[in-house]
Structure 1
Amino acid sequence: LMKHALEQIENLSGIQADVVEGWPERSLRDAASTVVFIGDLFPPNRLPNPQQNLADLDEMMQRGVGIACIHYATGLLGDDVTPDGDHPLLRWMGGYFANRSCPHHESFARVFPKATITPAETDHPVTRGWKEFTLRDEPYFNNYFGAEGNQLAPKATVLATSMLPPEAPKRETVAWCIEREDTGRGFGVVMPHYYKNWRDEDLRRLILNGIVWSAKIDVPAGGVKTDSPNLADFDPKSV
Structure 2
Amino acid sequence: MKYLLALAFLTTAAFGQPRDIFDYTGQNNAPAGTKRLVFIAAKGTHGGGGQHEFLAGAAYLARRINETYPQAFAVVYPDSNWPKDLTKADAIIVLLNHGGRAADDANIKAACDRGAGFAAIHYGVEAKIGSQGKNYLDWMGGFFETFYSVNPTWDASVQPGQHPVANGVKAFSAKDEWYYHMRFVPEMKGITPVLSAIAPLNTVRFKTGDKPSPHGGNPHVLADVKAGKPQHLAWAFDRPKGGRGFGFTGFHFFANMTNDSFRTTMLNGVAWAAGLEIPANGIATKTPTQAELDAMMAEARGAGAMPVGNAKPVFETPLMTAKNPKPRILDIDVAIKNAKELYLVASDQGSISCDWATWIEPRLILADGKGIDVTTLKWKGEERGYGRTQIGKNNAGGPIQVEDQVYANGIGTHASSTIAYDLPAGVERFTAKGAIDDGGMVRAGKLSDAAMRFHISTALLR
* TM tier relative to shorter chain: 0.7 to 0.9
Asked whether 1:110 is paired with 2:169, we answer no
How far the C-alpha of 1:201 sits from its partner, in A, is 0.7
Write the letter of the residue equivalent to 1:127: A
Q: Which runs of 5+ in 2 are unaligned?
A: 1-56, 203-225, 299-305, 310-462
Residue 18 (structure 1) aligns with: 75
Q: Deviations over 1:27-81 (max 9, x none)?
A: xx122210110111105258xxx4xx1x222210122100000011000134xx2
How far the C-alpha of 1:138 sits from its partner, in A, is 1.2
* Contact 1:5/1:226, CA 8 A, preserved across alignment: no
Q: Residues of 2 paired with 1:42 and 1:175: CA distance?
A: 16
Structure 1 segment 56-205 matched on structure 2, within 5 A: 56-78=107-129, 81=130, 87-100=134-147, 106-112=148-154, 114-120=155-161, 122=162, 124-146=163-185, 148=186, 151-153=187-189, 155-167=190-202, 168=226, 169-205=228-264
**DSSP-derived class of the 2:234 partner:** strand
TM-score under structure 2 length normalisation: 0.44
- Structure 1 or 2: more strand by fraction: 2
Residue 225 (structure 1) aligns with: 284
**DSSP-derived class of the 1:196 partner:** helix
- Structure 1 or 2: more helix by fraction: 1
Q: Deviations over 1:213-232 (max 9, x none)?
A: 00000001110011223111
Percent identity at matched positions? 27
Write the letter of the residue equivalent to 2:194: L
Count of matched residue pairs = 215
Asked whether 1:35 is paired with 2:97, we answer no
- Answer with 180-189 or 162-171: which moved more: 162-171
Q: Work out which structure has the larger RCO, using CA pairs closer than 8 Å and 6 or more positions apart in sequence.
A: 1
4+ residue stretches of structure 1 with deviation over 6 A?
A: none
- Answer with 135-144 or 213-222: which moved more: 135-144
Residue 103 (structure 1) aligns with: none
**DSSP-derived class of the 1:115 partner:** strand
Q: Residues of 2 paired with 1:195 and 1:86: CA distance?
A: 27
Q: Residues of 2 paired with 1:8 and 1:109: CA distance?
A: 28
TM-score under structure 1 length normalisation: 0.82
* Contact 1:177/1:188, CA 8 A, preserved across alignment: yes
**DSSP-derived class of the 2:287 partner:** coil
Superposition CA RMSD, Å: 2.2
Write the letter of the residue equivalent to 1:227: K
How far the C-alpha of 1:207 sits from its partner, in A, is 0.7
**DSSP-derived class of the 2:230 partner:** strand
How far the C-alpha of 1:141 sits from its partner, in A, is 1.5
Of structures 1 and 2, the larger Rg is shown by 2
Write the letter of the residue equivalent to 1:8: R
Q: Deviations over 1:175-228 (max 9, x none)?
A: 111111332100001011101111111000011100000000000111001122
Q: Which runs of 5+ in 1 are unaligned?
A: 101-105
